[in-house]
Structure 1
Amino acid sequence: MMIRAACAALLMLPAAAVAQDMPRVEEQSIDALRAQMAQGTSSVAITQAYLARIAAMDRTGPTLRAVIATNPDALAQAKASDARRKSGRPLGALDGIPVLIKDNIETSDPLATTAGSLALRDNVTRRDAPVVALLRKQGAVILGKTNLSEWANIRSTHSISGWSAVGGLVRNPYALDRTSCGSSSGSGAAVAASFAAVAIGTETDGSVVCPSSMNGLVGLKPTLGMVSRTHVVPISHSQDTPGPMARSVRDAALLFNAMVGVDPADPATRDARPHMHDFAAPLATASLSGVRIAVLHPEMLDSLKARYDASLAVLKAQGAVLVDVEAPKLEGIGEAELLVLQTELKADLDAYLSTTPKAVKTRSLDQVIAFNQANAASEMPFFAQETFVAAAQTRGLSDPEYLGARAKSLRLAGAEGIDALLGKAQATLIVAPTYGMPWLSDTVYGDTFNGPSASELPAISGYPHLTVPMGVVRGVPVGLSFITTRWGDQTVLNAGYVFEQAAKARVVPTYAATNDAGPGLAGAR
């Protein structure tokens, strides 16, 4: 696997370079890494330290399987950054900062973009997705590609989040037998384990906020249209978006700054420019004083409710006005969303695959389905591809049933969902638990999404959704969601920052084998 490539390059450096003490990268923020570089630490040394940490922990040690491939060009990019800094010409706030990229996003490095599938193991496109090109303009070091739920978790309703045929099963750094959720599982586990300060994930419905919540991270699912989706392996043009994942709100905002932009090839971004600014700068003066917040109270375990109630108390102590609201009954929203995703998957994936290199032989969804059937032992050892099969039978983007489903889901999620909740409470924001606690990774039954979920309405509507750590419950992380209307990305970041600074709820991972062990399991005998 290419995960060894950059580590091998590290070993070929002069002995003096390898022998020098590596800088501290564990739990280091972007600002801390920049301070190290300002004091003379090189980006090369920081990149080496991250590569060494990946080598020690990803396929050995706790065996997180969070990284599919490290970048053979990472050290050269870091060296170029050091040269720019030495000459007094850094490119931006991320110059020299290593960033991990989910492996459904193309980069021009010598790395395949696999979406976790063996069908795309030869998909070396040598082109940057615009979101990656923007990172390069800031001088970011592309450290490697992260593992993910294969095909971004759209192949089957019985999937195992975090598993891909290419990368194996991602393990949660807080309890190794627990899910890292998905589909940006590797990005979540990698940032939690300090394989990088930040990473990019993608979300269609929950794939940034769920792994962020369950790995003790901040994750932003932006307003749809803030970030380009060009050269990202697609599910749905109505709902897909890349998003930043980090250990703090400020780091997420700094990464987000480098991601946003208008892309002529992605019509969704055409209205982004008036909403583009420095999202990190306003955080320092953010306040919740007098801000009305609509509070949802979904059904949840008592232990999670206690943590949620404590988080609400933090918001209230910061001056927020909390207004309890009842979740609306939105009949048929799930079925409508599913038809939209299946129909757009067929159209969008076929269009994407037609642009891949000739070495890629699966050039349509039908051919991917056939590939999986022919390679069932490696591609389908745990779950099948019934969602792919259903998508292949859809009738295209002009199908009246599809068009009706999109209109219905958008109306229910937006006007009758988030907009109605905010209007009823005369509120600026909605808060809720992001998800429940991480469940056991289960190769028999697949995912068990027990507990609340806040992702559906902002995912369908395209509205921004931020999750921030609110601590641990029974030894595993849980997140608090902030949701608002379209283009309100700064609003959720500000609220999340105020909460984060007051609550200081994030806990460093322990890499425990399990969180189920203990005398209580043994009984009285």
Structure 2
Amino acid sequence: MKPLHPARWTAVVALIAGLSVASPAHADRAGTRHSDTFLRGLDLDRATVLDLQRAMDRGRFDSVALTRFYLDRIRVVDPLLHSVIQTNPAALKEAERSDRRRRHGGRGALEGIPVLLKDNIDTVGPLRTTAGSLALLGARPAREAFLVERLRAAGAVILGKANLSEWANFRSAPSSSGWSAVGGQTNNPYVLDRNPCGSSSGSAVAAAATLAAVTIGTETDGSIVCPAGASGVVGIKPTLGLVSRSGVIPISAQQDTAGPITRSVTDAAAVLAAIQGVDPRDPATVPGGDRDYLAALEPDALAGKRIGVWRSVAGDDRDVLATLDAAVATLRSRGATVVENVELEGLDEVGEAEFTALLTEFKHDLNAYLAATPGRHPGDLAGLIAFNERHASTELRYFGQELFEQAQATTGDLDDPAYRAARDKATSLARQAIDSVVSAHRLDAVLAPTNSGAWLTDLVNGDDFSTFVSSSTPPAVSGYPAITVPAGHAGKVLPLGVTFLGTRFSESTLIGLGYAFEQATRARKPPAYLRTLP
């Protein structure tokens, strides 16, 4: 099959990780049906997990009441959004157990906190793990993902699974971000006919719409930060090796990672602290002790820091540039030294090498996952391709499986010299781009725009990259961390984010910068659930 053109891949890879648009009648009721986010007088749209803990400790409500609130809200709100594939039938029982534990001291910062997981993260029992594909409805993972075990150890309640771009958006190009055969098309909660971006679309939309206290997404290149930016929430793409990938349906062990998507930096810090850890099943995870990311939440963290601004990535998008200008003004007002117009060199050579490497890695890693997962499902990528052909009326209804076919056509494995050359080139160039600019300008971090305004969802032609702005590739390919924080709006409605990115294991610094920026700007607004823009 003809390979995907590298220029097209540069746009597509930024969204790796996905109709039924609401009727006017539904959207017109959004103001009254969907603005009620209060539980016993506490606004859950604004409350952090720390606020929730204090409320439960004081008996204002318990985890059962909190969990029931989110389950009820999902039933009312999610028909507009299609952000949740499945709720956990055992969620209320898990909340009951949490309430009993609380009476004896509880487990941690996430005790009793309902969490939605992206549906490529393994769970056992009644919750399926499908990656949005009908092919995995019969899969029965033998063990939960390590990060789910970590969440449970911290006391969290697993609320359900979030919709996603099917197979984390590594099946076809063009495709519509947020679409899966199992969950349908996820809609942007700010304007329902706009796209949610990236493959962790359901996680970001559910967080924005207050359908869970916190959510978990995954990223290969852009699939945490882009949907978080497009839905006006916070997303952390951690350093490769901080959070285990065992039990997460893979694209690439060289780039995949899971991370939090939340309404506040506080919540993201609390979740990241809980899910980090060394996992014998994931050799990339590294020791170094528990990192207390809540300790990084200092309102004056920007003071004295040197931050470079990667401005050229914004192109000529006026809304993005205006948001970036406002962000720079905030940095300066809070005592940061701003180094304007820094450039990350060598990125024009990364895209093609990254795509070449990902095709080989996807075939190898997905085949290994399928072979190790019990249940009735195709045993390898070739079987998935055949399944989709047999079920073309549903799986291939809107777009094809060109990326599947290109990956299947690769003949080398992970020891193939051509593959190794492509992977080494992509990773080394991305790391050099970040390391060199940080070193040359003595930076604590680089600031860049996360996204441009969300495009119209189009299931016929797929995602519209014609004016797309993204800064995800350098941290994604290097394996370095990034955090996106709400920063403004396109057309006063569609959310725009800014990203702080840095060198390996600089999460504490980035979280501190993101928190100080968030506290200074208070840029996030709740979703409007508009049917369309005028």
Alignment of 1:208-247 (within 5 A): 208-247=224-263
CA distance in 1, matches of 2:127, 2:468: 37
Query: Where does residue 362 of structure 2 map in the other structure?
Result: 345
Task: State the 1:326 CA deviation.
Answer: 2.7
* TM-score normalised by L of structure 1: 0.91
Query: Where does residue 292 of structure 1 map in the other structure?
Result: 306
Query: Where does residue 366 of structure 1 map in the other structure?
Result: 382
CA distance in 2, matches of 1:64, 1:453: 24
Query: Where does residue 77 of structure 2 map in the other structure?
Result: 57
Task: State the 1:252 CA deviation.
Answer: 0.2
Task: State the 1:286 CA deviation.
Answer: 4.9
Q: Deviations over 1:76-129 (max 9, x none)?
A: 00000111112x230111110100000000112311100000000112325210
Task: State the 1:282 CA deviation.
Answer: 2.5
Tell me the amino acid that sits aligned with residue 155 of structure 1: R
Task: State the 1:156 CA deviation.
Answer: 1.0
Query: Where does residue 448 of structure 2 map in the other structure?
Result: 432
Tell me the amino acid that sits aligned with residue 468 of structure 2: G
Q: Which SS does the other structure have where 2:216 is aligned? A: strand
1:30 to 26, 49, 54: 49
Alignment of 1:378-393 (within 5 A): 378-393=394-409
Q: Which SS does the other structure have where 1:354 is aligned? A: helix
CA distance in 1, matches of 2:444, 2:40: 49
2:464 to 448, 454, 459: 448
Q: Deviations over 1:374-393 (max 9, x none)?
A: 11110011111111101011
1:487 to 498, 505, 514: 505
CA contact (8 A) 1:110 1:126 kept: no
Query: Where does residue 93 of structure 1 map in the other structure?
Result: 109
Which has the bigger relative contact order, CA under 8 A and spacing at least 6? 2
CA contact (8 A) 1:218 1:466 kept: yes
Alignment of 1:185-334 (within 5 A): 185-269=201-285, 271=286, 273-274=287-288, 276-284=290-298, 286-298=300-312, 299-324=315-340, 325-334=342-351
CA distance in 1, matches of 2:210, 2:232: 12
Identity over aligned pairs, percent: 49
CA distance in 2, matches of 1:21, 1:301: 43
CA distance in 2, matches of 1:52, 1:105: 23
Q: Which SS does the other structure have where 1:397 is aligned? A: coil
Q: Which SS does the other structure have where 2:68 is aligned? A: helix
Task: State the 1:175 CA deviation.
Answer: 0.5
CA distance in 2, matches of 1:354, 1:263: 21
Range with bigger deviation, 125-134 or 173-182: 125-134
Q: Which SS does the other structure have where 2:198 is aligned? A: coil
Query: Where does residue 86 of structure 2 map in the other structure?
Result: 69
Tell me the amino acid that sits aligned with residue 85 of structure 1: R
CA distance in 2, matches of 1:296, 1:358: 47
Query: Where does residue 185 of structure 2 map in the other structure?
Result: 169
Do the aligned partners of residues 300 and 121 (structure 1) sit closer, same or farther apart at CA in structure 2, a change above 3 Å counting? farther
CA distance in 2, matches of 1:24, 1:121: 36
Q: Which SS does the other structure have where 1:268 is aligned? A: coil
Tell me the amino acid that sits aligned with residue 501 of structure 1: Q
Query: Where does residue 519 of structure 2 map in the other structure?
Result: 501
Tell me the amino acid that sits aligned with residue 45 of structure 1: A
CA distance in 1, matches of 2:213, 2:258: 17
Q: Does 1:423 align with 2:439?
A: yes
CA distance in 2, matches of 1:339, 1:412: 15
Alignment of 1:446-485 (within 5 A): 446-449=462-465, 450-474=467-491, 475-485=493-503
1:47 to 67, 70, 81: 67
CA distance in 1, matches of 2:55, 2:143: 31
Q: Deviations over 1:207-264 (max 9, x none)?
A: 0000000000110000000000001100000000000011110100001111000011
Range with bigger deviation, 474-483 or 440-449: 440-449
Q: Deviations over 1:406-426 (max 9, x none)?
A: 1100111011x1112212322
Task: State the 1:277 CA deviation.
Answer: 1.5
CA contact (8 A) 2:163 2:202 kept: yes
CA distance in 2, matches of 1:51, 1:305: 39
CA contact (8 A) 1:27 1:194 kept: no
CA distance in 2, matches of 1:103, 1:432: 29
Q: Deviations over 1:145-185 (max 9, x none)?
A: 00000000000121100000000000111000111111000
Task: State the 1:462 CA deviation.
Answer: 0.3
Query: Where does residue 6 of structure 1 map in the other structure?
Result: none
Range with bigger deviation, 290-299 or 341-350: 290-299
CA contact (8 A) 1:209 1:434 kept: yes
Range with bigger deviation, 119-128 or 505-514: 119-128
CA distance in 2, matches of 1:342, 1:286: 44
Task: State the 1:24 CA deviation.
Answer: 5.3
Range with bigger deviation, 287-296 or 23-32: 23-32
2:431 to 393, 407, 414: 414
Tell me the amino acid that sits aligned with residue 468 of structure 1: V
CA contact (8 A) 1:175 1:510 kept: yes
Unaligned 5+ runs, structure 2? 1-38
CA contact (8 A) 2:346 2:429 kept: no
Query: Where does residue 420 of structure 2 map in the other structure?
Result: 403
Q: What is the aligned residue count?
A: 489
CA contact (8 A) 1:201 1:244 kept: yes
Q: Which SS does the other structure have where 1:353 is aligned? A: helix
Range with bigger deviation, 332-341 or 159-168: 332-341
Q: Does 1:514 align with 2:514?
A: no
CA distance in 2, matches of 1:220, 1:193: 18
CA distance in 2, matches of 1:285, 1:499: 8
